C-alpha cells in the first residue's frame, strides 16, 4: 500500500529517539512491519542493539539539536517516539516536534509521571513504566487470587 504521494505527510515514516532496549525493540518492530524508520542516538554503540535484519536508517547525534533533526528529515515524519532515559530530553524533543515541526503524532516515555500534567494539552501521548508495571503486577495478582476459588 502506497501513501497518496504527498511527500510532506509520509504515512509510514517514523523516527525513534533513543536506542536503548525499548527504542531498539520498537525500531526493530517498525522495520519488520516494512515501515520506514529512522533511529537517533547520541552513541554509535547503541545501534548494536538493533537486529541484523533492521532495514531502517540510523543517525548519531543529539536529537535536541536542530541540525540533527533536519538530517533525520523530521518534517517528513508521521510519528515520533522519544524514549531516551532522560525525561526532560524526551519532553523537549516532543514539544519541539509538535510546536516547531507539526509532527502529527508524538509519543514519549516519562519515568516521572508527575510532570505529565504539563504536556497532555500539547497533543503528546505519554507512557510511564512505573504505572504500566504496577498495573501489570496488580493484574497478575488478581488473576492468581481468582484461580483457586
- Considering only residues 6, 52, 117, 149, which one is a binding residue for other proteins as defined by CB under 8 A? 117
Q: Is 1 in the site for other proteins (CB under 8 A)?
A: no
Closest separation in Å from C-beta 126 to other proteins: 13
Q: Measuring CA to CA, which residue among 124, 115, 68, 73 is closest to residue 94?
A: 124
Between CA 27 and CA 50 the distance in angstroms is 8
From residue 40, alpha-carbon distances to 3, 16, 45 in Å are 24, 6, 12
Residue 122 has φ and ψ, to the nearest 5°, of -90, 5
Between CA 143 and CA 122 the distance in angstroms is 37
Judged by CB under 8 A, the chain residues 40 through 79 that form the site for other proteins are 64-66
Q: Is 112 in the site for other proteins (CB under 8 A)?
A: yes
Q: Is 88 in the site for other proteins (CB under 8 A)?
A: yes
Q: Is 99 in the site for other proteins (CB under 8 A)?
A: yes
Residue 81 in contact with residue 97, Cβ under 8 Å? Answer: no
Q: Is 115 in the site for other proteins (CB under 8 A)?
A: yes
Q: Is 140 in the site for other proteins (CB under 8 A)?
A: no
Which residues are near other proteins by CB under 8 A?
Answer: 64-66, 86-89, 91-92, 95-96, 99-100, 112, 114-115, 117-118
Amino acid at each position: 500500500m502506497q501513501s497518496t504521494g504527498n511527500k510532506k505527510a509520509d504515512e509510514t515514516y517514523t523516527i525513534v529517539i533513543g536506542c536503548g532496549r525499548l527504542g531498539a525493540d520498537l525500531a526493530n518492530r517498525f522495520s519488520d512491519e516494512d515501515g520506514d524508520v529512522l533511529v537517533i542516538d547520541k552513541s554509535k554503540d547503541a545501534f548494536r542493539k538493533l537486529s541484523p535484519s533492521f532495514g531502517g536508517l540510523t543517525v548519531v547525534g543529539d536529537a535536541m539539536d536542530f541540525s540533527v533533526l533536519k538530517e533525520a528529515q523530521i518534517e517528513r515524519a508521521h510519528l515520533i517516539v522519544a524514549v531516551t532515559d532522560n525525561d526532560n530530553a524526551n519532553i523537549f524533543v516532543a514539544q519541539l516536534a509538535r510546536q516547531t515541526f507539526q509532527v502529527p503524532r508524538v509519543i514519549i516515555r516519562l519515568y516521572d509521571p508527575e510532570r505529565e500534567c504539563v504536556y497532555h494539552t500539547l497533543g503528546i501521548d505519554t507512557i510511564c513504566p512505573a504505572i504500566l508495571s504496577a498495573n501489570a503486577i496488580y493484574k497478575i495478582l488478581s488473576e492468581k487470587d481468582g484461580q483457586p476459588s
